[in-house]
Each structure stands twice: as C-alpha cells, then as structure tokens.
Structure 1
Amino acid sequence: MYYSFGYWSKDHAYSQYKCYGWINQRCLRAIVDFLFAYNKRPLAVLIKFDDKKVGKETTIQCRFDLSKYDTDVTPITPTETKFSLSKSKQNVHIVRTQFPLRLAWATTIHKIQGQSLDNIVVSFDKTFRDGQAYVALSRARKLEGLHLASFHPSKIRSSKHVAKEMYRIKKSMLISNPYNPLLSPDVCLKVAVFNARSAKLHFRDIIVDPVLVDADIICLSETHFQKDNLHQYNIPGYKTHFLPSHQTQHGLAIYSKQILDTKLIQESPSRNAESLHLTAQHENLYEMTFLYRSPSGNVNSFLEDLDELIPSAPVNSVVVGDFNIDPHNMSAAFGRLLEHFSTRNFTQLTSTPTTVYGTMIDLVFSSSK
C-alpha cells in the first residue's frame, strides 16, 4: 500500500515538512507500524520513504524509541490546523488534527516527474500530452523494472512547437564557440599559474582544462606530488620540471611545451617558500621563476630570502607565483615586497583579485620593457 504526503495550507505543518525535504515526495513505501499512547491515542505513523535521505532529520529529533525498526523508518506525527468557523464568528475556532498522509494507489505523470523508482507500472489508456510518454517511461532505474499495463505507440510523440524552437535556437544562437582563447597563439609566450590544491587529486581535470593546456608553460603549486610517483603526472606534449612535496601541502610542477627550449637552472625548497627557476627560448630568451610561499610561513624570513629564491634578473625576466601576501590584509609586507622588486627593475602586473575570496595573492613581476 502506497501513501502520498500532502498538505492543506501554508501553515506550520507545511513549513516544517518542507524543511525536512518531504514536500513533493509523492510516492512512499508501505506503512511499517503505528505508535499509540497508553490511552490508545495514535501518536505517530511509521513510514519508510523511497528516498532514504528524506525524513532523516525528523528521525534524529523524534522522542520515540525506534530501536527495533529499520534506520530508514520515519515517524509522521499528527498536525493541527486552526481556522474560524465563519467570518461572522471569528472567536469560534475549529482545530483539525490529522496525519498528513493520503492513500495513493497510483500517481499522475506530472507528480512522478523527477523521481527514479525500482519498479513502475505505466498505463497508456488515458490521453497523453506531447513529451509525457518520455517522462513515464524514464522513471524506472532498469528496463526490468518497467511494466506496461497498456501500450499505444501513437501516444509517444514530441512537441512540434518544441522542435521548432530548438531549430530556431540552433540557427540563431549568438555564441558559435563556447570557448575563446585568452590570447592569440602568435602574440607572446603564454604562462598559466594555478594553485591546484592537490594536483594529485585533480590531475584529470587539469589536463583537459582549455585555459591551462592552451598555455606554453603551466605552473602548478600545492601539487602534493611525491618523489616516488612523479612519472604518473606527465602530460603528453610537455616537458616536466618537478619540485616534489617536502611537506604535506607543498610541491611545485612546471610543464613546458616540447617545442620550447626550456632548461631548469635552480630549484629552491625552503621552510618559508619554494621555487623553480628556468630559462625558456621563445623568439627571445626568457628567465622565469615560479614560487610558492606558504601562508603559515614567516613573512619577514621570506622577504629576506628572496634573493636566494630568485637568481639574477636579466631584461627578459619574470617572477610568478602564489605569494600569499594580499595588499589589503598585509599592506606592510606587500609594500616591502614591491620595494624589493622595484629596486631590481621589476614591475608588478597583477591588478585584480586572483581568488574567489577577493584577495590578490597571485602576483606577476616582470623586468621586460
């Protein structure tokens, strides 16, 4: 026997059950049991929902001992609705106490939409609207769970209006290409800098990201790569330079396209920061330093060690990375950082927030004119 949860007004009962995820759960399992008080007054109806997530909060908060039942059992308690007898007798009220359940031998296609069931019996006897047959036939999780009480192929049809609109959208859509490269491939040397927060976990996503793989050089921080499995994280068509993680959440990786002539000059792991320094030949010879400063590291020590992390600075030199020094939250340290680079003829190019939190902690310093 199946029951449908229903409600009568937007009162306390409706708000309560909506919060617990019960609204629109139209198809329920059979009643498991009834709970009665000592005076035989019904206290609750125990229901097993199709969706195991529904009713969990109610079960946790209930005052009944349900230890002998399955964990999926949810107690449905009576609800009260109060209303006036008539407009002329506002002081006279009627209180209706009722379990919010309705007997449901079947359900309409509209009310079953969005649900997935192990077994469903579908009847095509009544009139079907355009597209309605698809909704009915696609509710079963497996073909074996779909049972047709009657079948009329003529009632399986699509909407001509929908087909016409789909054709119009395809012909007149404004976006012909959902992805536009950030820069022309012939303009410059493209470098992508990304804090992966474990490239080890997100590697499959990284190698198919159109922005990252469009770059000539990909710089990843917080890779969490370990020495013994670096070969697993090579990208076809790219040369790799790794600085394995010496702490739990550290590690750097630089991927450069095979057509580029890149050479690793220096790697510098330290307590406050880590960096990779390389040269790249692309029309001109560039020197690039990629670094990461841990937010838990000592800022003053990091600023003092910058000269060791960043070797000589020729004209075509760039320093990129996650500095974790925000100009608003760490203005003094940011000022010292700018001063350090400006005395060495570097210009800071980042001007907008680089994180979803609105901070600007990923910086680009360039000595190119």
Structure 2
Amino acid sequence: AADYVLMALAPSLWWLAVGRLIAGVTSSSFTTIYAYMADITEPDKRARAYGLIGAAFSGGFVLGPVLGGFLGEFGPRVPFWVAAAMSGLAFLYGLFILPESLAPEKRMTFSWGRANPVGAMMLLRRHAELTGLAVVNFLLYFAHHVFSAVFVLYAGLRYDWGPWQVGMLLALVGVLDMIVQGVLVGPAAKKLGDRATMVFGLCGGTVGIALMGWAPTGVAFIIAMLPNALWGLAMPTLQSLMTRRVSESEQGQLQGANMSVASIAGVASPLFFGWVYSVSVGEGFGPVTAWLRGVGVDAKLASAAVEAISTPGLAFYLAAVVLALAALIGWITARRAERDEVTLV
C-alpha cells in the first residue's frame, strides 16, 4: 500500500524506483500465503490448494490490467490510488479477520541467521531430497521469464502485433492458467499423483513453448498456448511435493527459500534470454561462425549451422530445453524421494 501511495504521488521517475524498492522489501505475501496453505491443508490436498492460489493470481493478472486501463481514463495516478486502497484492505483483512494458521508451540524461534535469503536456502541443504526439487523450481522460473524478456519484441517482429494484440494474448494466458490451476490441478493430482502431474505439466509446457518458437503465424502461436497452459499443473504439485518433506515449523522457511530461488532466476533469466534474442535476430552469431572456422569446421557447414539457429524463436527453443531438463530432474528426484519414503515405512 505504501508503495502504491508513493507511486501515486511520485513527482519523477526516480520516486517510482524508490516505490519499487519498498515493494521488493515487502514482497513476502506469496511466501506466507504458501506457508499458510501448508499449515491448514492436508498433504494430499495441497496441490489443489496451491492450484487455487495460482488461479486467484491469474484472475488478478486478467482483471488487473482491465481495471487499470479503465481507471487510467480518469487520470494516470488514479490506478495507483485504487491499488493502494486494495492493498490496504488486504492488510486489514489479514490483521483483523484471517486467523493464525500455526499454533504457538509449533512455531520456529526467530533467528536472524535464517531471516535472509542465504539462511533460508540453507534449509535446502539440510534436506537433501529438496535439492533436486529446488533445481526444478529454478529451471521452471528461469524458463518462464522468457516471456517477460522477449515476448513483446518477438510478437512485434514476427507477427506485427501491437499493444492491443499483446494485451489480449496475455489476458488469454491468464484465463487458461485460471482453468488449469483452478479446475484441473486437483483432479489430475488425485488421479495421477503429484509427481506424475508435475512432470506432465512440464512436458506440456515444453511442447507448447517449443511450438511458440516455431509458430510461423500468429494463429499457430495462439494454438501453441493450449499445450503450454498445461505448464500450470507443475507449480502447485511441485510446491506440494516440497512441503511434504519439511516439518510444520519449517514451512515458512521453505517458501522463503523457494522465493529466493525464484528471484535468482528472475535476475539471470531475462539477461540470458534477452541476449539470446538480440543475437538471434541480428548479426550476433558472427563470433560463433569464426569460432567454428577456427576449430576446423568447413565454412559452408559453419554457415549452415549458424543459419539454423539464427531464428527469432531461438529463445523459446532454449526455454523448452530448460523445461525438458526440469521434467527429467523432477521425475528422478521425486521418484527417489517416494522410494525412500516406502523404504522408511
């Protein structure tokens, strides 16, 4: 709320940056929401619960821009005042109405050693079975940021889409995500189990995002969004698998570690995919050609190899490879963890 008030009053661009710093410092809402869900939900029902959280977020992703655009007609600062009011209402609801989820005797004693990203991620080291799943979490977020890094540029270059088309497509993404996470996650996890549902979702995302890189027309790109939407099955079930492997008092620390991993991916991924896109649509592969020639590759073969990867969709192809790797690691890690659980029993 303070962030949005500051942005509503900001006299210059730098004040907006200060507001973003405040938003970053106070961005633990999803961390605590995920921990809260783990506290109040039975382990075999957590995938569905996390799916509902994802669906709610997607609903905001769809309605938020529409509301912002409508309010913007009354002035450029009005959307920020309304957002501040909504954040304030959420704060008051959490403070006065929402009950505490964890009994005092089950809470972990506060420690500054854990109250930082490094301390939170130490939890992943203490639970070896979480390490592989944390890698899956990182790869999932890393691949997902290809959209924030290059989608607008890619859509404009390849399909000549403008702001209206891009906005409508993002709204459609939100609607599909609401359907998958809000409707399909629960039944799929109940029938297939968390591990199989997670891997199925990652495989669907792999196919969809690869087709997005290939899509020669805008219609083909939109069709590719259908298998890509299955990606929404992965995050809730991944969260469910991870929460099963820590104690009740460690749920908050686990979610903090997950958000830290996601933040690292959020920094590295746009830099990587932005660079890949820039060189794939320009003459950035010249050094690659020179290197191939330098190691003895025939000139025609080197040129053919570079031409094969000089496509605007290269960033999407690489994101598909990242997701496929996440699916493989997720399958192996979760299967090993399940086998260990059976052995212990």
Q: TM-score, normalised by structure 1?
A: 0.18
Structure with more of its chain in helix, by fraction = 2
Q: TM-score, normalised by structure 2?
A: 0.19
Higher relative contact order (CA 8 A, sep 6+): 2
